[in-house]
Amino acid sequence: MVGPIYIIAIALGLAFLLGFFKKLNANIAQTFMMAGVGAMSFISVQWLFGHLAGMVTETVTYTAGFKPPFSISLQMGAMEAGVTSMINIFGFLGGVYLWRKLKEMGLNAIIIYMVTLMGLNVIVLTRDLFNLFVFLEVSTIGIVGLILLERGVNTISSGFKYLVAGGVISSFMLIGTIMIYKYAGSLYINDIITSNIAATKGGMVALFLLLIAVILELKPFPANGWALDVYESANSGISAFLSAGFATAMLFVLYKLMPMFPIEWQAMVAVVGGITFIGANLLGIRQKNAQRLLGYSSAGQMGLLTAVIGLSSYLNEQFIFILVTILLGHYLAKAGLFWLAGIVKEKEINSWSLLRREPLLVVLFGVFILTLLGMPPFPSFFGKWELIMKLAAGGQTTWILAILIGSFLEAVYLFKWFGYVLKGENEGLPVLQIKPEKIISPVVFATVSVMAGYYAGSLLGETNFAFYIPLMFIAAIGLLEFLPAFVKNTFAIAGMGYLAYTTLPGLFETDLLRFIFMGIFILGGILTLFAGYYYKGKRQGFYPSALIMFAGLAGIIQAETLLQFFFSWELMTIGSYFLIIRGKRSMTHGFSYMLFSLAGAYAILAAFGMVDAQVGNMLSALGGVTSHATLIFALLAIGFMTKTATLGLHIWLPGAHAEAESDVSPMVSAILLKAGVFGLLLTFFGMGAESAGNSSILYVLGWLGAITALVGNLAASFQEDAKRLLAYSSIGQLGYILFAYAMATQLGWIGGFLYVINHFAFKAILFLTIGAVVLRVKTHNMYEMGGLIKRMPLAFIAALIGIIALSGVPPLSGFAGKWFFYNAVILKGWYFQGAVVFFAGVIAFLYSYRILQTVFLGQLKDEHRHVKEIPLTFLIPIYILVIGIMIFSMYTHWVLEPITQYLTAYFPSDPVHWDGAAATTSLGYWNGTWVMYIIGIMFVLILGWLLWLNAKATKVKQFNMVFSGERPFTPETTHMAHNMYAGYNKALGFITAPGITTFWNKVAEFVTDAAGFIRRIYTGNGQTYAFHIVAYIVIIYFMIF
């Protein structure tokens, strides 16, 4: 092993040597620098691997042959090795990134770069307090030097402010250090820890000054304006240095010094961190400047990590894991994002749509954003998970809430930004110039992030290799992006087929519930992917996104532990977000989808934490929960209801589904919504309805489902946009499903399963059909269509079957749902909720008729006289589903009888009796097959009779009609489509007034206004910032003592 002292020696030596060769060719100087930094990295990394492999133990190097306290000692433990590796690797890649910039700035900059890096290394390694102070000064001045060498007006002023603030902080630190020396008689950290100087009042103050200085260096909210200005105005490479390098080192200092401080202070440290995490992220919401935004995020992340250090006593053996993974996430993401900021060169985040011109950059951006947020499969996901689990185990509910709120606020601005990148207007923006040296470093960091994610997951021992197979498959598809869409489509379908082959037979044997949902996910996936053959070109980004979603969906079915479930749940959310936001006008819809989904996911996470604390991490152990069962039940329900778009949490759905691409709408509607249903079922199955708390929540959910059905259906009836109509219809249908399951009786659940299967089939048919029609006629507005039955009869027939199945008219499968509902409602005693649901069911006829009439019937528009039938690639999956619905309607008992048996395990009373196709309950009876026969025969007879009477009817055009002696003008004025239910709207339209949307808008407005108000403390004035620091110290002082 090369001793750690050489890290310093190399840096220092090179810095001095380079100084001698003033005239040296800049290229050679830089090569020397890179070689030096490379060597430093090598030393740290070899120590790191040594520690990981268990080959070395914690090693202390003594300088100048003396033992401490008479000399400075450098400690190279596992943590030090890790942190210096991070710093040095960053130094190396940052050097690559800054290659041109450093050359431009000259030899001095190169020297300062080396010295700063060395300073950071020493800060980490040293065990001497004064030494720490000195090198902190060295690195601060070094950073300021790098900032100032840029020579912009803003950079100079911000650099100066940084210097002022740094000066104030270090003076406190120095005073603290001096006082500690007085009381402890040593500057050796290990001595100070053992000397217990906190017992004396002066020693306490000394420690306080030291601690507060370290905390201030971590830029706590609100005393961090000075740092934000620097992040904003410095060169992005330098900002990255500040955020990834300097902050990492400072955090380690806090970690290192923590044992010196009284144990009671941990709470204060945690609170300071928590406030920073929430405060900084709150203010980030209003931020439009990319680098300043990253500054806020950086402060926020440091806040979170500070809080983690403060909370270490709750985290026990997982403390280091949590700290390292979150730190790593911050380090990789922040460096990467700052680097990207340098490539984009646009200040405003809404100009980052520029990134889209280079798909690789979008991928990198995505990886960094997700890493930062702690989404799977990145390392901080596992860190945050463990953090929440451990806090829950310690009963720290407030802390869980605080961390989730902070994370949510962070997600708000990060996904707003992401939205701009993916969907923002990029016309008229300058050309993106990517220099090779600038792209290498972000690519390396993104790769490291993915690998670190895998490593972190396997450290937890939960996500094994099998969990990553789908992800590797997706990555492979991602690498094949250059291939045409149909090739990738074939691969994707083959992948789904393989998934079906490996999972479905097993599930059929073991678990019918999972089999049904898996069947819907896979079958739906294959059918909707098939429609994708329509699309020409490469269809960039579509396949990885879709497959991530499907991998997530399959994952939640297969998950056995809470972590696996949550991992897959988040994966699905990410994939579906990318899919949804692909729509033309989907930026805001994708954004609101993500926010609701994340809020829901956090509710689930909190609930899982409480579950894990009580009964361990198995999903099947949900039923064993004893304390807070009602709260957990409610949190899970709320979390899953964000996906089922229950009223109140639904406002993302109409836009997201309506604006999505033609084959994406059915994916996110017919298939994705079922994930929420599956989650609800897991909760209901797992936790049961027996307890008073759960049953009263179910009672509320029942009403909620009924009202959702009513409002969703009513709103659907008033839409002018065909896809929006279907989207609102989904809200209504999911309302039925929620209602059915909330009944928690066998009949209710049979009805629920029936609706789940039925809704999958007919909504896929309808969305595929209407989506394909939209592709042909190029509009969503129904009043701009009409008479299309003549041009696309096959589409009409499919839509007709879909609508009949939806509306519940016998003999198709929808009626079975109604029948079970009537029986279930009356036996359960939910008469009024039931009446609302049946009312909603009748309202469904309004939109059912509207979509068929205004799209396919009535007058054909002139411009559609030559429009073609919908594409074959859509027709094939549509008709497979149509046949499926017909069979399901005819032989409903083939599916429902096994479900009945399956449910008997949960509801032993067995209120429904099957005899072939005949179902009997204590109330009524119904024989689906016979109803089908009777109606079929009758229909054929009447049709035959009419044909016999009227075979020779002359065929005429739509326009040839009786019109009170007048001739109608144009098809447009003769097609009754716009504002179709005017009278009904007058009577009941008030119910659909967008009260909930207004409510959420007000909430969002309030939060952003609050952020805007608080933001005013950052005046941009250096004196104010210095005052903030002093005031902060005083306030914290009085809070502690």
**Interface positions, 15-54, toward another protein (CB under 8 A):** none
What whole-number distance in Å separates Cα of residue 808 and Cα of residue 1? 76
Residue closer to another protein (CB basis): 111 or 890 = 890
Name the token pair of 48. Answer: 């790191």
Asked if 857 interacts with another protein (CB under 8 A), we say yes
Closer to another protein at the Cβ: 95 or 841?
A: 841
Q: How many residues bind another protein (CB under 8 A)?
A: 76
Distance (Å) of CA 28 to CA 25, 103, 238, 373, 846: 5, 10, 22, 40, 78
The secondary element (H helix, E strand) that includes residue 179 is helix 153-184
**592/713 with CB nearer another protein:** 713
Q: Per CB under 8 A, which of residues 620..679 are in contact with another protein?
A: none
State in angstroms the smallest separation of the CB of 763 from another protein: 18
Closer to another protein by Cβ: residue 208 or 926: 926
Per-residue x/- mask for another protein, residues 750 to 789, rule CB under 8 A?
A: -------------------------------------x-x
Residue 337 tokens read as 């994002």
Please report where in the chains the tokens 């972190």 appear, as a residue: 456
CA 37 – CA 802 distance, rounded (Å): 66
Burial of 451 (0-12, 13-18, 19+ CB in 10 A): exposed
Task: Please check whether residue 311 is in contact with residue 391, taking contact to mean a CB–CB distance below 8 angstroms.
Answer: yes
The distance of closest approach from Cβ of residue 713 to another protein in the complex, given in angstroms and rounded to an integer, is: 10
Q: How far is the CB of 938 from another protein (least distance, A)?
A: 6
| String of contacts with another protein for each residue 958-977, x by CB under 8 A | xxxxxxx---------xxx-
**How far apart, in whole angstroms, are the C-alpha atoms of residue 603 and residue 617?**
17
Give the span between the Cα atoms of 541 and 545, in whole angstroms. Answer: 6
Residue whose CB is less far from another protein, 163 or 825: 825
Do the bridges between strand 918-920 and strand 925-927 make them parallel or antiparallel, or are there none, so unpaired?
Answer: antiparallel
- At position 373, the amino acid (one-letter code) is L
Q: What is the DSSP letter of 289?
A: B
Of 421, 417, 405, whose CA–CA distance to 282 is shortest? 405
Stretch that binds another protein, among 122-130, 305-313, 886-894, 946-954 (CB under 8 A): 946-954
Residue entry with tokens 């519930």:
513
H helices within 53-198, ranges in order? 78-97, 99-105, 107-125, 129-148, 153-184, 189-195
Choose one: 131-139, 672-680, 766-774, 984-992; the region binding another protein (CB under 8 A): 984-992
Rounded-to-integer distance, Cα 122 and Cα 137, Å: 11
785-814: contacts with another protein (CB under 8 A) = 787, 789-790, 793, 796, 800, 804, 807-810
Q: Between 914 and 933, how does the x/- string for binding to another protein read (CB under 8 A)?
A: --------xxxxxx--xx--
Q: Report helix angle 247-257 to 290-310, nearest 10.
A: 10
Omega before 908 cis (within 30°)? no
Nearest distance from C-beta of residue 822 to another protein, angstroms:
5
The answer to whether 955 contacts another protein (rule: CB under 8 A) is: yes
Residue 466 CB, shortest distance to another protein, in Å, is 47
CA 13 – CA 7 distance, rounded (Å): 10
List the one residue from 140, 729, 859, 900 that touches another protein (CB under 8 A): 859
Six-digit token pair at 791? 């041009």
Residue closer to another protein by CB (options 776, 975) is 975
Residue number with CB closer to another protein (106 or 829): 829
Smallest distance from another protein to CB 811, Å? 8
Distance of CA 723 to the CA centre of its chain: 25
Q: Decide if residue 245 touches another protein (CB under 8 A).
A: no
For the CB of residue 920, give the shortest distance to another protein in the complex, in Å: 10
Does position 993 interact with another protein (CB under 8 A)? The reply is no
Binding mask 530-559 for another protein (x = CB under 8 A): ------------------------------
- C-alpha distances out from residue 120 to 87, 138, 879, 971, Å: 8, 9, 66, 76
Rounded to an integer, what is the distance from CA 96 to the centroid of its chain? 32
- In whole angstroms, the minimum distance from the beta carbon of 820 to another protein comes to 9
Sign of the CA dihedral 1026, 1027, 1031, 1032? negative
- Residues 833-852, interacting with another protein (CB under 8 A): 834-835, 838-839, 842-843, 845-846, 848-849, 852
When the beta carbons of 487 and 842 are compared against another protein, the nearer one is: 842
Of the residues 815, 874, 1000, 1025, which one makes contact with another protein according to CB under 8 A: 815
Q: Which stretch binds another protein (CB under 8 A): 234-242, 248-256, 568-576, 938-946?
A: 938-946
Least CB distance to another protein at residue 782 (A):
12
Contacts of 439 (CB under 8 A, 6+ apart): 343, 360
**CB closer to another protein, 926 vs 1025:** 926
Contact call for residue 988 and another protein (CB under 8 A): yes
The number of beta carbons lying within 10 Å of the beta carbon of residue 627 is: 11
Cα distance between residue 129 and residue 134, in whole Å: 9
Q: What tokens does 328 get? A: 């790593």
Instruction: Give least dist CB 729 to another protein, A.
Output: 15
CB of 987 to another protein, least distance (A): 4
Taking CB under 8 A as the criterion, the residue among 51, 643, 776, 818 binding another protein is 818
